[in-house]
Chain A
Amino acid sequence: EAAVTQSPRNKVAVTGGKVTLSCNQTNNHNNMYWYRQDTGHGLRLIHYSYGAGSTEKGDIPDGYKASRPSQENFSLILELATPSQTSVYFCASGDPGNQDTQYFGPGTRLLVL
C-alpha cells in the first residue's frame, strides 16, 4: 500500500511564528494534497500539487503557502501563524490516472497559542 508520512506529528507554535509541516510519499504519485480537518467542516483542501515545482490553491489557501521541491516531498508553510490555524493537517498523495484514490498520512496536530 502507498506510504505517506508527515512530520512533525504534533506542534505547538506561537502567534506570528513560522510553521512548516512536511509530507513525504514513497509511491511515486504525481499529485499531493494538504487538507485541514476541523469539527463541523470535515476536510478542506488548502493547497495541492501536480508534480515537482507545481503548487495550486485549494479551497481555503489564505494564510498558507506550499512547496513541492521533489516528487516525494510537499510542504505546507504558515508564515505568520494565527490561533485560527489550530487544526489537524493531513497530507495525501494520489495519481488521478490510476483510480483517483488518495492515500493519507497520519496527520499533524497543530496548536497555535
Chain B
Amino acid sequence: GEKVEQHESTLSVREGDSAVINCTYTDTASSYFPWYKQEAGKGLHFVIDIRSNVDRKQSQRLIVLLDKKAKRFSLHITATQPEDSAIYFCAATNSAGNKLTFGIGTRVLVRP
C-alpha cells in the first residue's frame, strides 16, 4: 500500500522567514495530496491541497509544490507568523482514491 514519508520531524524558524516541509510517497497512482494543521489539543484542520494535474498551488502564504517524477511534494509557509506554530501533516490518496495515508507530522515552531 501507499507509504508517505515526512522528512522533517521538527522545524524551528524565525518569524518572517519561510518554513519548508518535504514529503515523499510511493504509489505512482496517487492523485490527491492534502496538508493538515494540528494545533495543541485539537483535531486536524485542512489547510491546502494539490492534485496531480498541476505542479504548484498557492493559497495566501502557503505554497504546495508537486514533483510527480520524484514522487515528492512540499509545503512552503512564507512570511511565517507565530500562529503558524503547529504540527503539519502531509497525506496522499491511494490509487482507488478512497483512503488517505498520512505522514508522521512536522512540528513547526516560529520564534519571535
Chain A contact residues, CB within 8 Å of chain B: 4, 31, 35, 40-45, 48, 50, 58-59, 90, 92, 96, 99-107
Contact = CB atoms under 8 A, between A and B. Distances in A.
B15 to A, nearest CB: 27
Interface of B: 1, 6, 32, 34, 36, 42-46, 49, 89, 93, 97-105
Given A100-B32, A105-B43, A106-B42, A59 B104 contact: no
Contacts of A100: 32, 34, 49, 93, 97
A63 to B, nearest CB: 19
Contacts, number: 51
A42 B43 contact: no
A42 B44 contact: no
Contacts of B105: 42
A107 B49 CA distance: 22
A101 B48 CA distance: 10
Given A58-B99, A59-B1, A101-B49, A42 B42 contact: no
A48 B93 contact: no
A4 B43 CA distance: 10
Nearest to A90: B43
Contacts of B44: 43, 90, 92, 104
B102 A42 contact: yes
